[in-house]
Amino acid sequence: MLLRFLLLTVLNLALAACSEPETALRIEGRTMGTFYAVTLADPFPGGEKALHQQVEARLAQISQEISTYDPNSVLSRFNRSPANTPFPIPALMARAVAQGITAGQTTHGLLDVTVGPLVNLWGFGPDKRPQHTPSDAEIAAARARVGIDKLHLTQGKEGALLSKSRTDLYLDLSTLGEGVGADAIAELLEQSGVHHYLVEIAGAVRSKGHNPNGAPWRIAIVDPSDKPGAFQAVVAPKEMAVSTAGSYRNYYELDGKRYSHIINPRTGKPITHRLVSATVILPTALEADAYDTALMVMGPEQALTFAQKNRLAVYLIVKTDRGFEARYTPQFTPYLVQ
């Protein structure tokens, strides 16, 4: 399960190779159906136990707000609420929805946080895997429920209000969850006076300062070939957030075909092109997590053109007849470690 989601990995943590600093602290756990890890080169007030408790509490709060896997989450209750009825939502969820809407507009609907009916139809949400390939009629029915134009976010005096123009609209923030979580834990650490940390929630990473060895944090983009220890590239994030999405970890085979969990909202079907992973570097993990999935929907050529046009720091891995090939924008170059 853990390996299924390993698209990025952290280097330079072989503490045994040097004298272990007293302040090195690392906790690991599970959240959002995947793993998290927090590594500090600073002490945490109250020590490891307090760090673990506070991180777990923050992640549990996020799940209570935005999980489609929890029928009692705020998001699940919004999904069951009637159309055209403003529904109060908490600040963190509002931030995620606002980012989803912005990225949806920038990518002309290729990133779409209302894609849930299609995600579920293809068996990548809380529902079970389908027994047969969805028919054109089933895809068309699910597609009719999708579109960010059916979702409206407003900021009132009392807080954020969310409404929808169809009762059966199904909001799915899963693509942003890891980014939301990494930013929230980074915020918690900053508020606790920690200045040297690295937070990983599966493919989303936030870091600051230096690692327990006193060296810059370094993150490897894993090679899709799955050769043990093989990396495509090593990145020094320089306090920026790094997020990777990939099509080669989360998929299943049905009727002899392989289906990835990333859905093109225009076709209503899982992507089929040769882009296997997209890594994005941006100031927040939430933004990076939104654009890595959008690039995966676009495919290799459109993703590179979009990244160049928007001057994004992006690293793509493309499957070719000769193996895997890296393509990246000039904005990514300063982060690459030679």
* Cβ nearer to ligand FAD, comparing 58 with 210: 58
Is 139 a binding residue for ligand FAD by CB under 6 A? The answer is no
Is 172 a binding residue for ligand FAD by CB under 6 A? The answer is yes
Residues 186 to 225 in contact with ligand FAD, rule: CB under 6 A: 202-203
Contact by Cβ (8 Å): 25, 43: yes
> Could you tell me the smallest distance in angstroms from the CB atom of residue 17 to ligand FAD?
31
> Could you tell me the smallest distance in angstroms from the CB atom of residue 228 to ligand FAD?
21
Return the residue matching tokens 């093989």. 230
Member of 51, 55, 92, 113 binding ligand FAD (CB under 6 A): 113
Is 33 a binding residue for ligand FAD by CB under 6 A? The answer is yes
- Please tell me the count of residues contacting ligand FAD according to CB under 6 A: 33
Member of 63, 81, 106, 192 binding ligand FAD (CB under 6 A): 63
* Cβ nearer to ligand FAD, comparing 40 with 288: 288
Member of 81, 102, 250, 331 binding ligand FAD (CB under 6 A): 250
* Cβ nearer to ligand FAD, comparing 150 with 210: 150
Q: Which stretch binds ligand FAD (CB under 6 A): 16-24, 27-35, 79-87, 212-220?
A: 27-35
Letters for 278-317 (x = contact with ligand FAD by CB under 6 A, - = none) are: -----------x---x---x--------------------
Q: Which stretch binds ligand FAD (CB under 6 A): 87-95, 133-141, 143-151, 166-174?
A: 166-174
SS3 string, the chain, reads: CCHHHCCEEEECCCHHHCCCCCCCEEEEEEECCEEEEEEECCCCCCHHHHHHHHHHHHHHHHHHHHCCCCCCCHHHHHHHCCCCCCEEECHHHHHHHHHHHHHHHHCCCCCCCCCHHHHHHCCCCCCCCCCCCCCHHHHHHHHCCCCHHHEEEEEECCEEEEEECCCCCCCCCHHHHHHHHHHHHHHHHHHCCCCCEEEEECCEEEEECECCCCCECEEEEECCCCCCCCEEEEECCCCCEEEEEECCCCEEEECCEEEECCEECCCCEECCCCEEEEEEEECCHHHHHHHHHHHHHHCHHHHHHHHHHCCCEEEEEEEECCEEEEEECHHHHHHECC
Member of 162, 245, 286, 312 binding ligand FAD (CB under 6 A): 245
* Cβ nearer to ligand FAD, comparing 125 with 134: 125
> Could you tell me the smallest distance in angstroms from the CB atom of residue 213 to ligand FAD?
29
